Amino acid sequence: MRDGFIKTAAATPSIRVADCAFNGRKITDLIREAAGLGVKVLVFPELCVTGYTCGDLFLQRTLLASAEATLERIMGETSGFDMLIALGLPAALEGKLYNTAALFCHGELLALVPKTHIPNYGEFYERRWFEPAPGEGRRVAFAGQETYFGTDAVLRCRSVPELGVGVEICEDLWAPEPNSGRLAACGATIILNLSASNELVGKSEYRRELVKNQSARLLTAYVYADAGEGESTTDLVFAGHDLICENGTVLNERRFVTGLTVSEVDVKRLTFERRRMTTFPPEERAFTIPFDLKVEETTLTRSLARNPFVPEGQEARDRRCQEIFTIQSQGLKKRAEHTGARRLVIGVSGGLDSTLALLVAHRTALSLGLPASAVLAVTMPCFGTTERTKSNATALSERLGAELRTVDITESVLLHFKSIGHDPKVQSVVFENAQARERTQVLMDIANAENGILVGTGDLSELALGWATYNGDHMSMYGVNGGVPKTLVRYVVGWYADTCGDDEVSALLNDILATPVSPELLPAKDGEISQRTEDIVGPYELHDFFLYHFLRWGAEPEKVLRLASIAFEGVYSREEILRWLKTFIKRFFAQQFKRSCLPDGPKVGSVALSPRGDWRMPSDASAVTWLERLGVRDV
């Protein structure tokens, strides 16, 4: 359970209707199997001790006594397992019969949660046997123990404060106001649902969306265990449709099988999201029941995306890229309309970022009813410019119909070096940044002269690392790429290449995609790029991974390191990942002053660094606490 990962499972046993002893053995076998896998929270289907389809047999005292005795036996035989278990069975209490979930851990019956919404129609005529949950909770005696009986129980783990567990039963989820909403507001980060939902054509899709959306709406993990093989098929078939969802994502799912459906939910991630989402209302109307679990290492089986900003699957990626491109162009369109700009000025280098900005500007000009030549593409060669990047920038601009202008800044920069007394042979940060600032001055002045606005090209990853020259490429009149991380920039450009319908544009874009990322501020060697960004600051795929987990989910540095080591196993060693993670943290903290005065630009995803609405951090915050979590003492 380190780092907040709780291994959970939904279990569908193979049962015999009304044979509690047999069912108890099958349930115990699955509990043992789950314990061997390291499961800490386990949920079984509704009424699985007896079977859901017992009908009028539920009124038989013989069946009820057998069910209660079976629960006692299961708790005794599994008391040595470090696991919270939810099990469905009928409970006769105070002259009434209830459809309940028994929650127990280490042999202790912690709570009985009764079903609230009892169907009284069609094949699910449960009101014939069961009473709805009473309005208030109370203490009752059951299965040889005294326990809490009520729907407001939230079980809180002492050893993992972020772990709170609430329970509802089948139709309770379908209700207009599901009880899970109240439980989540009272601190439940995992909701367990014990269900017996029969299968119909199309019902599985509805059920999946319902569970998935409930987990998203409540910022919870939702573990749904469904009745399956062994239930009576007189009129119905039960598919054992088990689901584990977390905040709108299906982590694991199985149908028409028995056994365990296992995954790990991240309760620290959910807790962070609840802190961030101030619209999530806290309540204090739960009956809190403490329990203990050992804090142990959790082996992860859940999918872990290497590129978390990039959707998996070609179709999903294409939709995302098209949406991002549309958001960018719509933002720029509004800014151009508001300022009355007639030209969109952009510095083109033949690199990925300026290429994407050029494509966005081209689309924007057309949407404004302006000719393609309203885009003014400026190439500004200097000491490090290579023929490959310059020719790509030139050819792409011309093919898109933009006006192309070349301004060689070499003499201007050399004159500037003379003015400030800098030796051009000293290729220091002064040598590099003077070029970036000269380019920005040229572009700003051209934009003024042309009644236009300067379109910025810097991306989200560069902003996170501070990889921009202050008041150089750091500044523009509207930054269209500021919300797009570098890994996603590459996919958006690739999407455009695949869908533009112009073979020449596509070929140019593919060559740009194959060009190493570089600011081209140091002289080329034998005509080739000598300065590769990723050799200096580290691989962007790692930095984007760090950025996503650090900013989006508030993950601790050691957790980010662990996740990255899993995601990039076989690509980078743990030592390499640790090295670049330290770089990321140091640069992220040290370079905030650049982000504090960013130009406007459209937000395209859940991770953004605008100082106005997304990331507000003092420019002089210390990184010491974060680096110490990685074992760095001398900061």
What is the rounded CA–CA span in Å between residue 52 and residue 15?
A: 10
What is the rounded CA–CA span in Å between residue 487 and residue 443?
A: 27
What is the rounded CA–CA span in Å between residue 528 and residue 458?
A: 23
- Closest of 325, 339, 323, 322 to residue 478, by C-alpha: 339
- Closest of 40, 285, 286, 34 to residue 163, by C-alpha: 40
Looking from the CA of 313 toward its CB, the CA atoms found within 13 Å total: 4
Question: Does residue 467 contact residue 533 with C-beta atoms inside 8 Å?
Answer: yes
Two tokens at 239?
A: 């598919």
Question: Does residue 313 contact residue 262 with C-beta atoms inside 8 Å?
Answer: no
Question: Does residue 131 contact residue 96 with C-beta atoms inside 8 Å?
Answer: yes
Q: First and final CA of the chain: distance in angstroms? A: 30
CA distances, 63 to each of 16, 50, 55, 66, 69 (Å): 13, 8, 11, 5, 10
What is the rounded CA–CA span in Å between residue 308 and residue 546?
A: 10
CA distances, 95 to each of 6, 59, 130 (Å): 38, 11, 11
Residues 6+ apart with CB under 8 A from 606: 552
DSSP 101-127: EEEEETTEEEEEEE-S---EETTEEGG
What is the rounded CA–CA span in Å between residue 454 and residue 447?
A: 6
CA distances, 329 to each of 322, 343, 478 (Å): 11, 14, 11
Place of tokens 């980078």: 572
Q: For the purposes of burial, counting CB atoms within 10 Å of the CB of 634, is it exposed (0-12), middle (13-18) or buried (19 or more)?
A: exposed
Looking from the CA of 105 toward its CB, the CA atoms found within 13 Å total: 20
What is the rounded CA–CA span in Å between residue 294 and residue 38?
A: 11
What is the rounded CA–CA span in Å between residue 39 and residue 485?
A: 36
CA distances, 626 to each of 53, 554, 559, 581, 595 (Å): 55, 12, 11, 11, 20
DSSP 8-state assignment for residue 634: -
What is the rounded CA–CA span in Å between residue 195 and residue 185?
A: 22
452-456 β-sheet, strand order:
403-406, 375-379, 343-347, 452-456, 478-479
Q: Which residues are catalytic?
A: 46, 115, 170
